[in-house]
Structure 1
Amino acid sequence: MSHPLYVAFIWHQHQPLYKSPDSGVSVSSSQKYRLPWVRLHGTKDYLDLILILEKYPKLHQTVNLVPSLILQLEDYIAGTAFDPYLTASLTPAEQLTQQQREFIIQHFFDANHHTLIDPHPRYSELYQQRQEKGQSWCLANWELPDYSDLLAWHNLAWIDPLFWDDPEIATWLKQGRNFSLSDRQRIYSKQREILSRIIPQHRKMQETGQLEVTTTPYTHPILPLLADTNSGQVAVPLMTLPNSRFQWVEDIPRHLQKAWDLYQDRFGQEPRGLWPSEQSVSPEILPYIIKQGFKWICSDEAVLGWTKQHFFHRDGAGNVQEPELLYRPYRLETPAGDLAIVFRDHRLSDLIGFTYGAMSPKQAAADLVGHLQAIAKMQKDHPSEQPWLVTIALDGENCWEFYPEDGKPFLEALYQNLSHEPHLKLVTVSEFIAQFPPTATIHQEQLHSGSWVDGSFTTWIGDPVKNRAWDYLTHARETLANHPEATEENNPAAWEALYAAEGSDWFWWFGEGHSSNQDAIFDQLFREHLFGIYKALNEPIPPYLRQPLEVHEARADHIPEGFIHPVIDGKGDEQDWDKAGRIEIGGARGTMHNSSVVQRLWYGLDHLNFYLRLDFKSGVAPGRDLPADLNLLWFYPNKTMNNSPIPLADVPDIAPVNYLFHHHLEINLLTQSIQFREAAEHFQWHPRFSRAQVGFNTCLEVAVPWADLQVPPDYPLRLTLVLSDEGCFRNYLPENTLIPIDVP
């Protein structure tokens, strides 16, 4: 029997709990929020996603709404939630304090400027003033209308383009400047109006059958780590664990029950699917999920790979080899009953999350549909009674900031293409499982303990700062356990503070791996939630909770923290490179680079390109202060291929420049022209075509397509940079090492 290829999109909508527990528990009182992202993402990302889908009724999808997100949306809808950004936005410009003015100049451009600021001339004008003249100049020279306009634009720019045809919004966008306090108050009212439509629209589309809404444990905790922090050692046996072992498995049914109850109340039916926070699973948590009544969960292909002891290789086009293992639901078999599980295609999910925003919308949509069509053809080559299900599951809010018009043209092009493709059928997960119950089985004890990040928990535990946070949480949890009289009924504040502190987001930001300009606030919020436990129990506050867990300052050298998509124009846009790896060169230890004209090196990647940036001392000119040529040389560890030495004179016989390399990109810094070569037999170099881009202005930026290097996905490369003049070696960097690169 010939089946279409079934595709399940699952969009995960989540924000951490930004509400400070000090704000009281009365619904009528105003709630103090530390950050504005529930309100801003609420006006930009949650409603438009499903309104666009609604225009294509044949296409069914799944959306996951985290309970803590729903509760925060409801605070804003009720008008009881106030964050510092909102408070400033509703303050008459003449009454802004000096501290507020500094805050506005520093934070009211917290957005991707390419997509949210540059399209609006007045907002872009203010942004360029801050970037080019500095915060001090703005503070000294801006007048009241400048502040009032910035307050308005920060809120307007986050309203999704889908709503721009609203007469009031259209008027504001056309007005551009000279916004009054009354305008800003009306913009805030419009935000609340959009927020108020989110849950009803999800409920309506679930009732018509086009949407399935799922839920997550109450405050998004990592359930396997609540059961036992030692589960971190399943994937990483040598992981350094916290001093105190956290083992509070009884908190798991509490989080599940609270999520279940809230869902039933808001959606008028029982949930079927559960998105485990960060797609984190372990054998220990399954009985609680089954007992609560959930029918299916989702996780990542890395977890399936560990479970099956099978690494999912991909071909040069990025398609999974042995797709029949990944593209099917599995039955998790436990003594408590059974549970279905689907595993997402990590690469397809990441393409939407991190790469397609850098492509034209039509090209990106065609690329995704092309991948699905290729999988559909593979399904025909593997005839079976059981059709395939491709699961694409990802964060449904953060990626759109990098897309033109917040992803609207991409989603419209994608849905248009999918509507006309007879071999592809979009379904909710529950629809598919009801029609095609899983036939493959994974026994409970076989299931790997891990998450979507490398199939491990290293993002949330194992780092010294993360471990210290777990120790703080363990002490607070034990303190609550020593108060059996403090039940959820008679002391809800203690329990709500505990649930908040058990959320995954704080641990994500602690220590190495992830960083943002709000790290200090996340640190503060975590400690405030712990503070709330002791306060509700009338226990003394441990002194360490009054101090940050770590020093929050800009770090020097670090590895990449995520995909990047810089514009290659030689201007070194700070937002474009904020998640790139960084290596300090000038003034580094060692003899070679103490007086280097190269100050620092940045590197990063996405699914399309490898990116490199060099920052120079100001006033540096190639051919005068700097050798005229930069050579990029790629080394492929443990791979059998033709390799050749660096094709320059006077290369010293020291590692790593005495290695043999396979690819060589020579960039003339005077003309920005390139020559690309590949090593051949007998230590020869043969010219090859390259689509590499070079930009040299205030810095040097380079993008090298993976297609030039012709390497398979998930492959490790190493890179060194050599400066040369007239074919003679002059210098190399970084000193005594190679830049590590992993093809995505």
Structure 2
Amino acid sequence: MASDPRTPVVLCWHMHQPDYQDHSNGQFLFPWVYLHCIKDYVDMAAHLEAHPDARAVVNFAPVLLEQIETYLYHIERWRHGGQTIGDPLLAALVDPALPEPGSPAFLDLMEKCLRANAERIIKRFPAYARLAEVAELYRTRPDIQRYLSTQFLADLLVWYHLGWMAETVRRKHGVVQSLQEKAHQYTLDDRKALLDVIAELMASIGPRYRHLAHTGQVELAMSPWAHPIVPLLLDFSAAREAMPDIALPEHDHYPGGKERAIWHLTEGRRAFKRFFGTEPAGCWASEGGLSQATLVLLGEQGFRWTASGDSVINNSINKARANKTLPEGAGIHQPYRFNDSNVTAFFRDDGLSDLIGFTYADWHARDAVGDLVHHMENIARQGKKPVISVILDGENAWEYYPENGFHFLDELYRVLEKHPKLRLTTYSTLQDEPYTEPVQLPELVAGSWIYGTFSTWIGDPDKNRAWDLLCEAKQHFDRAMDNGSLSTDQKTAATHQLGLCEGSDWFWWFGDYNPASVVRDFEQLYRRHLANLYERIGYPAPSSLFQPLSQGGGEPAKGGAMRPGHEAGS
């Protein structure tokens, strides 16, 4: 069979949420896993199902998959008369006795039900917008709180979940449509019916993506288990390859970092295979964080491909050029191999990817897709057999689009699945074709998809203090594992708890440039995870763990949950 001469385009959607569960009591502190399930993971599958000739890579963080399983277990346990659901917001949705107006619990639930995009979600629905207006009055006029009833909170809970509902579900699901039409005065039976929809959608995620993978539409890939920055686990000084003057933590390395990186990859594979029933060929190393040592490790662990941002390959090209070892034709739109690694690395076109993440939300869908495809066509005309990689967050961007990105994604797949010069494909498919051979470079300059550096996770004083807290905890963990004081089960639990502490998200959020409320949330969660680790190893937590780490106070684009690949002006 003749090879397809069209220029390959890989859309790689990364699905990731850190572990929000307090494992000392089983409670989820934040609801973002199940809310993104019913809004984004469902919609992203549905758009592919609606366009059977489309192709994409979908990457999941294993710790996210495990949380989905935990939520489904909690819901089934509640249905069978067991304990309450371990998420306060989801439990409140079906609680027959909601908090009384004026109580702290009432105010807490009210505020949680307003954590949604005001323009795209709350104001879209008149009934939800009216409830938000009442909530604002509630905040400013304590004297009127006695005149509200728990029905206000019941209606707000329903609308919060309806607002976060996937657009493809909203347009077809009878229960969702009937609840929207009812608009207010929701009964407990209504709320239970909505929980059934939520459970149904969450339970569908595994089977739907497994089916898409089975039909060849989707290549499923994974990140290391709890989404750690592997190059930093291996060697803090990797951060100096792209930023020679960056300040590092007081600890000069992360103790036993290579063994921990291997653990995250091994544990990630185990969770991934249990959820999807297959082995991944590719690994989006957390945040596209790569180094030469990381590439070697990925190859040793059996991965065929990985990916990062175009600043990483540009830094590597510049180094090869300076050393007069740059082969002809090197650019961001080629696959690469580096020195002693047998893993093929692909690189994100940051410009194209960031247009989706930061620009097109305010465009008409047809204009946005036309502009994006025009850029792709220009790249294709340049020859050299390019591979165009568009890689970005598969969940946070759509909150800023009308109707959860429904029109943009539908148009994107519609245009690309039949394009005469471009073809959607996957990285593993490309590797099995004779389309293009990887360019060989002597060395990769370590960095991530954000700016080609690790400055988002290390170097800032707040981030470095967080690393020092983790290094200190790891030293105590190592002693506890060696001194014979823990049983096998206790060691397993402590090892998993350590993995949660090693995730990238805590370091991402620390720093004055992030919103204070989100920094506070993630600092609270990081401290909780570390405190739980100390409890599991039977060692008292140091006083330094309870001293403030970071305050925040910035207003980054899109709330800071996404970042552009290049710094402004670069």
Q: TM-score, normalised by structure 1?
A: 0.69
Which of 327, 332, 342 is 2:333 aligned to? 327
How far the C-alpha of 1:192 sits from its partner, in A, is: 1.1
Alpha-carbon contact 1:228-1:246 (below 8 Å) kept: yes
Pairing 1:146–2:152 present: yes
Alpha-carbon contact 2:349-2:389 (below 8 Å) kept: yes
How far the C-alpha of 1:531 sits from its partner, in A, is: 1.4
From the superposition, tell whether residues 238 and 406 of structure 1 become closer, same or farther in structure 2 (CA, over 3 Å).
same
Which of 419, 422, 425 is 2:420 aligned to? 422
Q: Residues of 1 paired with 2:168 and 2:569: CA distance?
A: 36
Identify the residue that residue 439 of structure 1 maps to in structure 2.
438
Q: Residues of 2 paired with 1:93 and 1:259: CA distance?
A: 40
Q: Residues of 2 paired with 1:135 and 1:152: CA distance?
A: 23
Identify the residue that residue 258 of structure 2 maps to in structure 1.
249
Which of 174, 181, 203 is 2:210 aligned to? 203
How far the C-alpha of 1:416 sits from its partner, in A, is: 1.5
Q: Residues of 1 paired with 2:237 and 2:497: CA distance?
A: 24
Q: Residues of 2 paired with 1:214 and 1:2: CA distance?
A: 24
AA matched with 1:303:
V
How far the C-alpha of 1:490 sits from its partner, in A, is: 4.9
How far the C-alpha of 1:94 sits from its partner, in A, is: 5.0
How far the C-alpha of 1:135 sits from its partner, in A, is: 4.5
Q: Residues of 1 paired with 2:320 and 2:136: CA distance?
A: 46
Identify the residue that residue 132 of structure 2 maps to in structure 1.
127
SS in 1 for 2:380: helix
Count of aligned pairs between the two proteins: 543
AA matched with 1:514:
N
Q: Residues of 2 paired with 1:135 and 1:229: CA distance?
A: 48
Identify the residue that residue 501 of structure 1 maps to in structure 2.
501
Matches within 5 A, 1:386-397: 387-397=385-395
AA matched with 1:507:
F
How far the C-alpha of 1:181 sits from its partner, in A, is: 2.1
Identify the residue that residue 298 of structure 2 maps to in structure 1.
289
Pairing 1:367–2:374 present: no
Which of 21, 43, 47 is 2:42 aligned to? 47
AA matched with 1:442:
L
How far the C-alpha of 1:223 sits from its partner, in A, is: 0.4
How far the C-alpha of 1:286 sits from its partner, in A, is: 2.1
Pairing 1:407–2:405 present: yes
Pairing 1:56–2:51 present: yes
Alpha-carbon contact 1:66-1:215 (below 8 Å) kept: yes
Which of 105, 108, 129 is 1:103 aligned to? 108
SS in 2 for 1:62: strand
AA matched with 2:276:
F
SS in 1 for 2:226: coil
How far the C-alpha of 1:146 sits from its partner, in A, is: 1.7
How far the C-alpha of 1:405 sits from its partner, in A, is: 1.0
Identify the residue that residue 73 of structure 1 maps to in structure 2.
68
How far the C-alpha of 1:280 sits from its partner, in A, is: 0.4
Q: Residues of 1 paired with 2:320 and 2:286: CA distance?
A: 23
Q: Residues of 1 paired with 2:496 and 2:468: CA distance?
A: 19
Moved more, 149-158 or 283-292: 283-292
SS in 2 for 1:391: strand
Matches within 5 A, 1:438-587: 438-443=437-442, 446-483=443-480, 484=482, 485=484, 486=486, 490-515=490-515, 517-551=517-551, 555=553, 561-562=556-557
Deviations 1:550-577 (A, max 9, x none): 346xx3xx5x6226xxxxxxxxxxxxxx
From the superposition, tell whether residues 487 and 201 of structure 1 become closer, same or farther in structure 2 (CA, over 3 Å).
farther
**Structure ranking higher on relative contact order (CA contacts 8 Å, 6+ apart):** 2
How far the C-alpha of 1:142 sits from its partner, in A, is: 3.0
Deviations 1:678-732 (A, max 9, x none): xxxxxxxxxxxxxxxxxxxxxxxxxxxxxxxxxxx989xxxxxxxxxxxxxxxxx
How far the C-alpha of 1:415 sits from its partner, in A, is: 1.4
Deviations 1:299-356 (A, max 9, x none): 00000011111899xxxxxxxxx9961111112331xx51100001001111111111
Moved more, 263-272 or 204-213: 263-272
Alpha-carbon contact 1:332-1:442 (below 8 Å) kept: yes
Can you give the 5+ residue segments of structure 2 that lack an aligned partner in the other structure? 76-84, 322-327
Q: TM-score, normalised by structure 2?
A: 0.90
From the superposition, tell whether residues 508 and 488 of structure 1 become closer, same or farther in structure 2 (CA, over 3 Å).
farther
Q: Residues of 1 paired with 2:203 and 2:544: CA distance?
A: 40
Identify the residue that residue 197 of structure 2 maps to in structure 1.
190
Q: Residues of 1 paired with 2:11 and 2:169: CA distance?
A: 24
Q: Residues of 1 paired with 2:7 and 2:23: CA distance?
A: 47
Identify the residue that residue 572 of structure 1 maps to in structure 2.
none
Alpha-carbon contact 1:301-1:345 (below 8 Å) kept: yes
SS in 1 for 2:258: coil
How far the C-alpha of 1:520 sits from its partner, in A, is: 1.8
AA matched with 1:326:
I
Identify the residue that residue 6 of structure 1 maps to in structure 2.
8
AA matched with 2:396:
N
Alpha-carbon contact 2:56-2:219 (below 8 Å) kept: yes
From the superposition, tell whether residues 514 and 438 of structure 1 become closer, same or farther in structure 2 (CA, over 3 Å).
farther
AA matched with 1:277:
S
Alignment root-mean-square deviation, CA: 2.6
Identify the residue that residue 167 of structure 1 maps to in structure 2.
174
Identify the residue that residue 667 of structure 1 maps to in structure 2.
none
AA matched with 1:369:
V
Higher strand share: 1
Q: Residues of 2 paired with 1:37 and 1:254: CA distance?
A: 26
Identify the residue that residue 345 of structure 1 maps to in structure 2.
349
AA matched with 1:15:
Q
Alpha-carbon contact 2:284-2:307 (below 8 Å) kept: yes
Q: Residues of 2 paired with 1:490 and 1:246: CA distance?
A: 26
From the superposition, tell whether residues 150 and 2 of structure 1 become closer, same or farther in structure 2 (CA, over 3 Å).
closer
Moved more, 91-100 or 465-474: 91-100
SS in 2 for 1:22: coil
Q: Which has the larger radius of gyration?
A: 1
